[in-house]
Structure 1
Amino acid sequence: MHLPSALMRSIAIRVGTAAGVAALTLGLAASPTPAHDHDDVRTPTLTGFASLPAQTYVPASDPSGAALGTAPINGVVPPFADQPVQGFSGIVRGGGGAYEVLSDNGFGAKANSADYALRVQRLAPVFRTGAIDVLGGFHLTDPDGKVPFPLTRPDRVLTGADFDVESITRAVDGTYWIGDEFGPFLLHFDRTGRLLSAPVSLPGVFAPENPYLAGGTPNLGGSKGFEGMAISPDGRYLYPLLEGTVTGDPAGALRMYEFDLRAGAYSGKRWTYQLDSPAHAIGDAIAVDANRFLVIERDGGQGDAALVKKIYLADRRDRDRDGALDKTLVVDLLNIANPKRLGGFGPVFRFPFTTIEDVIVLDDKTIAVLNDNNYPSSSGRTPGLPDNNEFITIRLPKSLHPDGRTLR
């Protein structure tokens, strides 16, 4: 049945207030199981599990999902009275045990996301209870008119019809650089989400949604722009990674570029990340040190049909001289040891989601991974039900030896 507006607001308030108070009482953003308890692990091991209910909304926000129709999707009936807290596609530390997580363009396409306001959500996982606190967040806006092409909203709050934001880093000065897939563009925002300069185009590469295409032929697939973006440990360079292959490049070859923040321009250097299969996609890319990156690679399956959900350590030094970043498997997200049965799951934990788009290094042997739940469309955990937003921590058997500056 159709979820009435009052009920959806009630759900959002319950998640954002009552559950949050209980979680805070037990300890805000409690750490996962201490690392020293797992120093002898021989296989990647689940050490923390927290989940945010799929039907979590920003209280008293704008209606959304009008272009989704009115038929149930995984048991949820659109449109929605508020903005869903969903679609996590990038993560940075937020301080005090919290994290800032980037929601993507909304409902999966430019045509159906004009009523989704682009937003950075502030979250705190509470591993003692398995809950995730929503502590607020901020919209991405362009009040100063930096975007030279027309926007959807007259108040210049950016929407999923304007940009498809999929990756985020924080610069040394505290501002944010965000990677977009529609251009693809690089977008620079201040600490409140205000756009600081015009979108930076990628020379010679155009997605079908690019507003400057002007009837030309795109050479990149739709929404296949900057899915991942790392920042160098010294804060000088961005390393945006395309999700799709540029026309004319070998099948499954993805370009990684270098953008010099000091010069405000691309340096001209680029590398290749080679997918295991051209049918795969990447979900995120972050720096471990000056030369190595963690990259999520996945297939398009979910649930029992999910076969490839992996995180690789990719090295741009190309020691085997094959022309691509060297890849070393770090963790198979479909085969994680779970000896403590965290989350109520069995001894082998699977992260079987269509899109897994967030990874962050917590210490030399621990990473955190989040899914993009594509609300309300994905149902990888339970068929017929919309996926929750899950936040897991994984203890690795070997140290990543990260540059300490990437842990700040």
Structure 2
Amino acid sequence: MLKKTLLATAALLAFHLPASAAETFPAKLAGHAYLPAFTLIPPPADAPEDAWISGKFTGRTRNHDVMSVPGDVGPAYGSHPTGISLPFIGQPVQGLSGFAMNRAEDGSIYTLTDNGFGTKANSPDALLFFHRVKPDFETGKVERIESVFLRDPDRKVPFRIAYEGTDSRYLTGADFDPESIQVLDGEVWIGDEFGPYIIHATADGRVLNVHQTMLDGKALTGPDTPGTVVPAQPGKDFQVQRSGGYEGMALQPKTNLLWAMLEKPILGEDGKPEGDFLRVLTFDTGKGDTGKSGWTGDSYKFRLAEGATAIGDFNFIDDSRALVIERDNGEGDPSLACAEGAGDKSACYPVPAKVKNIVLVDTARTDADGFIHRIGHIDLMDIQDPDGKAILETDAARDLKGKFTFPFFTIEDVMLYDDTHILVANDNNLPFSAGRRIGQAANNEFILLDVADFLAAK
């Protein structure tokens, strides 16, 4: 009896411990590969001519002068140059923002490029597309096997798109911000940040349906949702924060439910975040296109660790356990943090990376308030590399021999690779991030991590 009481008490305490108190598991670097930052591909032959030069609207005025404006990380991050200039000839592959749980028949991995250059306003010439890729950890290279561009020939998108008047009707970053992807029965499901919406498409990129998010019987909208009119009052006219829509969307095995997680806390009536947690809504892929609402009505909560501000990806590893990336907004090794009040920030990081975690959760275990149970996490800023697998140098004011870090602003891809390994990748925000080296644009890095104990945890 005493043993049962102690076990019950321990279980209760586990639910109410702060997120940062969960167990930290070790991780070892087993492979490192990358797709170079400056990787561009041509738009489809039937795309508008406008799509041949992308990034024309990232400044205050339209700019057709190719590669005339040097990219940098922005004043908040020290204005470090990245060595790559806008606008581009072609479409950048950058911004890899989610792995699908299921792979293609040839073993390649589905991933997708996000909205382009960061906002709805500056990305009307950035086409939306997803890929099949294969990292090779022997050569350190990532092979891009196929890229598929999203288009809306059947006019399923319920609002005017940027290329509305064209025959091909390709989608752009002015229409959606795709941040997560799943593949089921040869079709694609994409989580969007702007609506937030769930987009259903064919394997060749044709939109089949666009699903508006419903929470507690009401449409959930944000400042970038078509129909939100400025001036709008946060918390009353919209609840989703800007860049706070679906960042992770996991596909649950057997049920075929999509667990769609918002990137940031939603806003209450007072316009303030409702708490240090994120909403997770479930969508039934079997009902979504039948005329019935695919939203199940179930809603859960994911509590962020102290210092974390957002999540990056979300994928199941079995019937109930899943991986979640949580992160802060920093980039760069913390040993190069700028001194307080430093005037010259050219060789330091004003906002260094600190919280970059992969969290293991169990969706079958929720408490009375709907919080999903956190089993433990690994720290991407403290990866062991005893075998010297790292192939890219990191700027740091400390000895990183035998150590490896993943000090990127946006880490947005994680999936189960095999029984003992996970695969993680970053969104490099071309040409606006430089987390590995000061003055050098971040590449699209893929890291293979040996985390056997982590994956076995219950």
Under TM normalisation by the shorter chain, which class is it? 0.7 to 0.9
The verdict on how the C-alpha distance between 1:379 and 1:399 changes in structure 2, with shifts beyond 3 A counting, is closer
Cα distance in structure 1, aligned partners of 2:384 and 2:210: 46
Deviation at 1:322?
5.9
Deviation at 1:250?
3.2
The verdict on how the C-alpha distance between 1:229 and 1:396 changes in structure 2, with shifts beyond 3 A counting, is same
Deviates more, 1:348-357 or 1:57-66: 57-66
Cα distance in structure 2, aligned partners of 1:109 and 1:214: 17
> What is the aligned counterpart of 1:224 among 232, 235, 244?
244
Deviation at 1:204?
3.1
> What is the aligned counterpart of 1:138 among 145, 148, 166?
148
Deviation at 1:399?
5.8
Secondary structure of the structure 1 residue equivalent to 2:219? coil
Does residue 292 (structure 1) correspond to residue 321 (structure 2)? The answer is yes
Letter in 1 for 2:228: L
Deviation at 1:279?
5.3
Does residue 50 (structure 1) correspond to residue 50 (structure 2)? The answer is no
> What is the aligned counterpart of 1:183 among 181, 195, 215?
195
1:209 is aligned to 224
Deviates more, 1:84-93 or 1:178-187: 84-93
Deviation at 1:276?
1.5
1:341 is aligned to 388
2:341 is aligned to none
1:294-351 Cα shifts (integer Å, max 9, x gaps)? 1000000001210010011122344665641111333111111111111246311100
2:186 is aligned to 174
Does residue 111 (structure 1) correspond to residue 97 (structure 2)? The answer is no
Secondary structure of the structure 2 residue equivalent to 1:400? helix
Number of equivalent positions: 361
> What is the aligned counterpart of 2:447 among 362, 367, 392?
392
1:260 is aligned to 284
Structural mapping, 1:57-96, within 5 Å: 57-59=40-42, 62-69=52-59, 70-73=68-71, 74-92=82-100, 93-96=103-106
Deviates more, 1:312-321 or 1:106-115: 312-321
Contact 1:139 1:193 survives alignment (8 Å):
yes
Contact 2:307 2:355 survives alignment (8 Å):
no
Tell me the TM-score normalized by structure 1.
0.84
Cα distance in structure 2, aligned partners of 1:127 and 1:386: 21
Cα distance in structure 2, aligned partners of 1:258 and 1:358: 20
Cα distance in structure 1, aligned partners of 2:144 and 2:244: 29
Contact 1:251 1:278 survives alignment (8 Å):
no
Cα distance in structure 2, aligned partners of 1:63 and 1:397: 45
1:236 is aligned to 256
Cα distance in structure 2, aligned partners of 1:389 and 1:228: 18
Contact 2:85 2:431 survives alignment (8 Å):
no
1:82-133 Cα shifts (integer Å, max 9, x gaps)? 1111100111223323212110000111111111000112211111111111
Cα distance in structure 2, aligned partners of 1:281 and 1:319: 20
Q: Which has the larger radius of gyration?
A: 2
The verdict on how the C-alpha distance between 1:356 and 1:60 changes in structure 2, with shifts beyond 3 A counting, is same
1:37 is aligned to none
Contact 2:299 2:370 survives alignment (8 Å):
no
Contact 1:183 1:209 survives alignment (8 Å):
yes
Runs (4+) of structure 1 moved beyond 6 Å?
A: none
Letter in 2 for 1:175: E
Cα distance in structure 1, aligned partners of 2:177 and 2:43: 24
Q: Gaps spanning 5+ residues in structure 1: where?
A: 1-41, 403-408
Letter in 2 for 1:159: T
Contact 1:205 1:246 survives alignment (8 Å):
no
Q: Gaps spanning 5+ residues in structure 2: where?
A: 1-24, 45-51, 60-67, 72-81, 289-293, 334-351, 394-400
Deviation at 1:292?
2.0
Identity of aligned residues (%): 42
Structural mapping, 1:112-127, within 5 Å: 112-127=122-137
Deviation at 1:363?
1.5
1:375 is aligned to 430
Cα distance in structure 2, aligned partners of 1:330 and 1:95: 31
1:258-295 Cα shifts (integer Å, max 9, x gaps)? 11122221111110001124751000111123322210
Letter in 2 for 1:72: P
The verdict on how the C-alpha distance between 1:136 and 1:83 changes in structure 2, with shifts beyond 3 A counting, is same
Contact 2:69 2:87 survives alignment (8 Å):
no
